[in-house]
Amino acid sequence: MRRFIKTPKNKKTLDNHLSSDQPLKSDILNNISELKKLFKDCSDIVFREFSIKEKKAYLIFVDGLIDTKSLEFNVLFQLLDKIEDIGEINANYFEKNMVTIAQVSESNYLNELVKKVLEGNTVLIIDEIEKAIILHAQGGVRRAVAEPETETSIRGPREGFTESLRVNTSLVRRKIRSNRLKIVSKEVGTETRTALAILYIEGLASDDLVREVLTRIDRIEIDGVLESGYIEELIEDHPWSFFPQIQNTERPDSVAGNLLEGRVAIIIDGTPFVLIAPATFWQFLQASEDYYHRFHISIFLRWLRIVFIFIALQLPAFYVAVTTYHQEMIPTTLLYSIASSREAIPFPAFVEAMIMEIAFEALREAGIRLPKLVGQAVSILGALVIGQAAVEAGIVSAPMVIVVSLTGIASFTVPRFNMAISIRLLRFPMMILAGSFGLFGIVIGSIILLTHLCSLRSFGIPYFSPLGPLSINEFKDVFIRTPWWSMDKRPKNFVHQNLVREKANLKPSPKQDN
């Protein structure tokens, strides 16, 4: 369990052992002794000793976090093989004339050097020089850019984010090649010192939104951040709500599209999931490839998702309510069929539905946690075998198996996993209300749910907009996706200036002869 750090007394960090302004000394042995004390029992920290014109020098780095070949060729080779060419021995001379690594900086504070080493940089310390050279030669084993597994698409880019912060920012920079794309770097976590970057397009993102995002991140005091989910929970508006208020994605094209609409992206080092804020309810029902297909296909797919999200939420509850309290609503032929199938069932419809829904969720969870090849077989065969066996044993009825299966399929149509899991969780209280009060309970539950959705905000933006509050002009990209030549304006909720997205009158037409 992660814990918040409420007072400076609780901060068990490096800063407790080292004054923030302790400078380097001219005696290299003294400096190395201090650094070795701070890195005591850290077997992965390497102190590489060598000599430069009879002066002792050390390279300090973390084994596994640096590009060894780059360090050997651009630093050690230059300093050892070309030792006779070295002129005056000082930090400025080495930085400008000897070291051939692209990014080089200086520091004369021990705590800054420790921080840079732990970030994957290499520190060069030379005797009688009170400045250290920081060599930016990060490397090590990293996952290659590949297609995202959680957001597959038929049409669109196949590249996805990785666990490297700079690789991820470069993927976004390749999409938006503008100097107005700003990247603000931050660090969160007193122990993990996790790097993150806030991305926005100057002139599109609201200044108030950018300030609010920066303020919420700056007030975080926690010992470690290992995934973007930590940040999401610490900066959202309504932490007790079932619904996600910040979108996460693995796709650079999705991030670029949202940035162009005036939103802000947060990239966290160590995870491929990027946060996008603010987010609305309808945003979670949209897939990135909606904008790559022709608009007729996108409209059909969006309406399909909207219909099936209602099925995923309400169908089991509706079945329980009708079969328990409102049998007169069922056509006679269908009623006879349901009654005959339930004749030998020992449980009421509500208990039957709960058993099947919980079993279905357990099978789905087992399929995710098991190895990929085995998991798919277990989830599919388990559902078929258990469902068929339960019907033959007279524990559940065949119509209930059909209802639960259709509900499960409906939940898979939601493109965003965090919204899909929220709908799956809310299905259970809706079933309880239906089992207790029938259709009246479903209506009460729906009113409460709709009221809650209308009351939510994401960084000040109404969560249910543009439906609540109503804004007809914003409907071009909600229930439908109009052609690109008609979406000439950006959403007014996010952009308060530079609303024009494209030139007017871009609708294509046959070429007319003069």
Q: What is the mean pLDDT of residues 471-476?
A: 84
Give per-residue pLDDT as tens, 106-136.
888 888 899 889 888 899 998 888 888 888 8
Per-residue pLDDT at 436 exceeds 90: yes
Band (pLDDT 50/70/90 cuts) for residue 513 is low
Given its phi and psi angles, is residue 413 left (phi above 0), alpha (psi -120 to 50 degrees) or beta? alpha
3-state secondary structure 262-287: CCEEEEECCCCCEEEECCCHHHHHCC
Q: Is the pLDDT of residue 8 over 60?
A: no
pLDDT in the model for residue 12: 44
- For residue 379, the surrounding DSSP H or E stretch is helix 372-392
CB 165 within 8 A of CB 267: yes
Higher pLDDT, 380 or 32: 32
pLDDT in tens, 49-88: 888 777 888 999 998 888 888 888 878 877 776 666 555 6
Q: Are 398 and 341 in contact (CB under 8 A)?
A: yes
Handedness of CA 133, 135, 140, 146 (dihedral sign): positive
Sequence-distant (6+) residues with CB within 8 A of 214 are 184, 186, 198
Answer yes or no: are the C-beta atoms of 418 and 425 closer than 8 Å: no
Alpha helix (H) ranges present in 326-348?
Answer: 332-341
**3-state SS track over 434-489:** HHHHCHHHHHHHHHHHHHHHHHCEECCEECCCCCCCCCHHHHHHCCCCCCHHHCCE
pLDDT at 137: 81
The answer to whether residue 182 scores a pLDDT higher than 80 is yes
Q: What is the pTM of this model?
A: 0.87
Q: Tell me, what's the pLDDT at 185?
A: 93
- What pLDDT score was predicted for residue 83? 61
Nearest-angstrom CA–CA distance, 387 and 390: 5
More confident call, 495 vs 189: 189
In this prediction, residue 351 carries a pLDDT of 93
Among the ranges given (159-173, 258-272, 376-390), the one the predictor scored with the smallest mean pLDDT:
376-390
Please check whether residue 281 is in contact with residue 478, taking contact to mean a CB–CB distance below 8 angstroms.
Answer: no
> Residues 390, 323, 306, 301: is their CA dihedral positive or negative?
positive
Q: Which tops the pLDDT comparison, 270 or 19?
A: 270
**pLDDT over 90 (residue 380):** no
Q: Which two tokens stand for residue 298?
A: 């996108």
pLDDT band, residue 282 (cuts 50/70/90): very high
pLDDT bucket at 277, cuts 50 / 70 / 90: very high
Record the tokens describing residue 363, joined without a space: 């099978």
| Confidence band, pLDDT 50/70/90 cuts, at residue 296 | very high
Segment 467-480 shows an average pLDDT of 86
Cis before 469 (ω within 30): yes
Average per-residue pLDDT for the chain: 86
In the three-class reduction of DSSP (H, G, I as helix; E, B as strand; rest coil), residue 162 is classed as: coil
The percentage of residues in the chain with a pLDDT greater than 90, rounded to a whole number, is 48
Could you give the percent of the chain with pLDDT greater than 70? 90
Average pLDDT, stretch 481-499? 86
Structure token pair of residue 355: 């058993």
